Amino acid sequence: MNKNKLNVWHIFSLLLLVFDLLFIVYPLFNVLKNSIIIDHQFSLAHFVRFFGDSYYLDTLINSLKVAFVVTLTSLFFGILLAYANTIYELKGSLFLQIVTILCSMSAPFVGAYSWILLLGRGGAITTFLKDVLNVAAPSIYGFGGIVLVMTTKLFPLVYLYVSGALKGIDQSLMEAAENLQCTGFKRFTKVVLPLCMPSILAVALMVFLRAMADFGTPVLIGEGYRTFSVEIYKQYIGEGGMDHGFAAAISIIAIMITAVIFFTQKAVSKRFSFKMDSMHPIQKQKAEGLFGVLLHVYSYLVVAISFMPQLYIIYTSFRNVSKSGNTFVAGYSLNNYKAFLARMGQAVPTTLLIGVVTLALTLVIAVLTAYLIVRRNNKINSALDTLSMIPYIVPGSVVGISMVMGFSTGPLVLTGTMAIMIIAIAIRRMPYTIRSSVATLQQIPLTVEEAAESLGCSKFKTFIKITVPMMMRGIISGAIVSWITILTELSSSIILYSSKTTTLTLSTYIFVSRGTLGPAAASASILTLFTTVSLLLFFKLTKSSDLAL
Amino acid sequence: MEVNIRINHALKKYGDNVVIPDLSLDIKPGEFFTLLGPSGCGKTTLLRMIAGFNSIEGGDFYFNDTRINDMEPSKRNIGMVFQNYAIFPHMSVRKNVEFGLVNKKKPKDQIKTISEKYMKLMHIDEYADRMPSQLSGGQQQRVALARALAIEPDVLLMDEPLSNLDAKLRVEMRQVIKEVQQEVGITTVYVTHDQEEAMAVSDRIAVFKSGVIQQIGTPHQLYQRPQNTFVAFFIGRSNLLDGKLVHEGGKTFVVFNNGFRQEMTNIVDCEDQEVKISVRPEEFVMSDDGTGISGVVEQTTFLGISTNYFIRTDHGERVEVNEESQVGKSLQKGDRVCLKVKAHKINVFNKEGSASLVVKEV
């Protein structure tokens, strides 16, 4: 074969490389430039200001604190639920699984908002406690509230990862442990947990990075507790003085910190990598006696607390609100929905349009990149592999800022367009979809493609007729997660949106931040309806209840 | 059209690691040719070079007079059967078999008749509309073969096609493969590490070691006249004994370690020298007259049709002897025996074991 011949794959490699360089590297380079160039001169003044002022430094420490604690609590609740629902026969096991997944799929701040309605000043539970029992409810604002809300949203990720790992453990390993007199809790810590360690480490990183970069939750519920992602936004939007250079500097610091965490995790997980062939998955045990009751109580309680906010939002969406729009009054109606549709009705088609286009773009990029990485490895494609992982460690708000800094002036102006939002969200999603496509592709034996070639199929035709259909299952289960994350994207689009590109998530956020309760609840409910219906449809069509994150 | 495959000075490298240094082959039209060798010997690599899935670092590959080095795999018109079958899991049996014909843009009615013909030939026509996941391993293998043959390829390449099947099915399928190959009359290159399988199906076999062909020959030639000790050991079982080759009074003898002399009539013209004598278990004879290689029975295994003995010679060598079972008791552990050899069957090699000193009959 003539290796120097330019074929269709070389063209795809180059196109993807241009895409990555243009929309990932170039914008970030602009952020870096903005952070160290002041009035055309090199200066570290922004960094000196950040580290010299505890006001700013605190935001970073706060974010790290939140991320650390949320990771621990999510691991605790997630692992325990996964263990309960995978090793033991729980009643309504499938129901628990689906509701857990639904918890993780809500828009990031809907939970926060709902908790405020329940436990905030004038919240339903707060009022109830004060009026009826005459006790003060614990404050939902600040550190505790952030941790609570993020945990209820992020523990399902841990649950999904760890239950996947548990299903990969061979029954004979459990029996061998028992045979060697290692049972019960000891078996859990000595055998089960270590076997899940690769998955636990992987999901711990994911939870940490998401908790650290989350914007919606702290901005609503944090009040005096300031985190860096909110600070970047404030500096950028200009609450208390617009300072793009300073926002860029905070972004660079944030990326460096997440990069350190990312590489530390990689180094640690190398020590825990092993292969396991599971021929006989674990058989569920009966949960009997008091232990069984405790398992059920725990599982249902965790899931109920996490899911309650979504239900409560839907409930309030039917309640009547006062003329001013900031208190609920007696009676139920569809008025909130009417108000929402009148003011922001355009958000529904906009969301669907942005969602579909972004999903298509993400999938095409992911499948092509994965194919090039796995099947046509060369220097350019290895570079694609590395480049496409960059967004994994870049917080969403930084992606947003980088896009503005890259494309508001110069040869390519995209700010305010739908394209810039689509590209930003697609880039945010790329690391996940590419990783899952790579994993899918690695499981497909190369010989199947070779068979097609030997039967007279050209390389590109083989890709379309054989490779893509065989990857389809993996692609679809990755696509559903992408679809929902795209619908609920806030941290980058809050910086990039214009009146024409207001999605449901953004409209909900806008109503919430204006304090207009009714349309906010209606908007959030429609969003919840979208994500729930998408998921249930997916489960129905694929006849499975597993997701590939 | 029957196609001959010629390979001249093939070279295969992965980086600086030379897998096949310099290999030439001439496979006759319609021949069932097998590449046999231990794992990692380069046999699959060579097959994949013929198929076009491995790059060729040097040398020329020809199908008849067409040089195929730079031809895309999809243009070589080869039928290939893979170790893991490589059936397209998202297509029915019929779609799998039709796949190559559709790519060739044959007319619809032809696609139907040709695929029907090969599904019938492989006895899978009754499963035509099933999905591959509903088929057993043996049935999937039949689909793979039908699919490869349906494009009426110039050559058929098979890469360890039976190694994923159980023992009984393996024997059954190799018979099927051989019969189908003879019926279709297509030039076939077959890769396996199983010498028994190779012997059963092949017209000729090339025995590989470290990317170098040790011997090319018919199953008969390889078994009866191996060209070096590697082949003698790889094909069938052999005992290797030290000895000397001496010429005396116009006669040639091999002298075993204990001094037992066996006259030989088929030794090539050569000097007296130290030699390796390769004796297969069935080439020993228990001697009655007390002469020969003496030893003690260490183990007896009664196999029904024959009886296998391990015998420790007085010189300390352990040899395996196979004898037709006798009525009554076999020899027992500790019994003393004397062994002679069937002179026309044994093989004599130089001291290094790299060359045979026996005249090639054919």
**Alpha-carbon gap, residue B146 to B80, rounded angstroms:** 10
Task: Provide mean pLDDT across the span B274-303.
Answer: 91
Q: How does DSSP classify residue B250?
A: T
Q: Nearest chain B Cα to A461, which residue? A: B103
Task: Provide mean pLDDT across the span A3-21.
Answer: 84
User: Which chain B residues touch A459 with a CB distance below 8 Å?
Assistant: 72, 74
pLDDT at B74 (0 to 100): 86
**Alpha-carbon gap, residue B145 to B153, rounded angstroms:** 12
Q: Nearest chain B Cα to A7, which residue? A: B72
A48 domain-assigned = no
Give the tens place of pLDDT for each residue, A223-260: 888 898 888 888 887 655 567 888 889 899 999 999 99
DSSP strand pairing (B155-159 vs B78-81):
parallel
**Alpha-carbon gap, residue B160 to B192, rounded angstroms:** 5
Task: Provide mean pLDDT across the span A169-186.
Answer: 78
pLDDT at A277 (0 to 100): 67
Annotation: CATH topology of B5-230: Rossmann fold (3.40.50)
User: Which chain A residues touch B77 with a CB distance below 8 Å?
Assistant: 456
pLDDT at A4 (0 to 100): 52
Q: Hey, what are A177's tokens?
A: 């442990």
ipTM of predicted assembly, 2 dp: 0.75
| pTM score, whole prediction | 0.81
Give the tens place of pLDDT for each residue, B187-200: 999 999 999 999 99
Q: Is B243 on the interface with A (CB under 8 A)?
A: no
Give the tens place of pLDDT for each residue, A479-533: 888 888 898 888 888 888 888 889 999 999 888 888 888 888 999 999 989 988 9
Q: Nearest chain A Cα to B74, which residue? A: A456
Candidates B103, B114, B147, B156: best to mutate against A (most CBs of A within 10 A) is B103
Tell if the CB–CB gap between B55 and A454 is shorter than 8 Å: no
SS3 breakdown of chain B: % helix, strand, coil, rounded to 5?
25, 35, 40
A162 domain-assigned = no
* Number of structural domains chain A divides into: 1
Give the tens place of pLDDT for each residue, A93-152: 888 988 898 888 887 788 888 888 888 877 888 888 888 888 777 788 889 999 999 999
Q: Nearest chain B Cα to A3, which residue? A: B55
Of B74, B76, B151, the CB nearest to A458: B74
Sign of CA dihedral B324, B328, B332, B338: negative
Q: Is A443 on the interface with B (CB under 8 A)?
A: no
| C-beta separation of B246 from B255 below 8 A | yes
Of A2, A455, A469, the CB nearest to B151: A455
pLDDT at A1 (0 to 100): 42
Domain limits at A422? 1-34+327-549
Tell if the CB–CB gap between A450 and B73 is shorter than 8 Å: yes
**Alpha-carbon gap, residue A314 to A529, rounded angstroms:** 9
Of A1, A451, A452, the CB nearest to B55: A1
* Residue-range domain boundaries for chain B: 5-230, 241-350
Q: Nearest chain B Cα to A454, which residue? A: B74
A42 domain-assigned = no
Helix (H) or strand (E) holding A285: strand A285-286
Of A451, A459, A466, the CB nearest to B82: A451
Q: Hey, what are A480's tokens?
A: 């559903």
| C-beta separation of B281 from B308 below 8 A | yes
Helix (H) or strand (E) holding A533: helix A517-542
pLDDT at A546 (0 to 100): 63
Find how far residue A450's CA is from the centre of its chain. Answer: 37
* Second CATH level (architecture) for the domain B241-350: Beta Barrel (2.40)
Which CATH number covers residue A413?
Answer: 1.10.3720.10
**Alpha-carbon gap, residue B110 to B141, rounded angstroms:** 24
Q: If you average pLDDT over every residue of chain A, what do you get?
A: 87
| C-beta separation of A406 from A244 below 8 A | no
**Alpha-carbon gap, residue A516 to A325, rounded angstroms:** 5
Q: Residue A543 pLDDT > 80, yes or no?
A: no
Tell if the CB–CB gap between B86 and A445 is shorter than 8 Å: yes
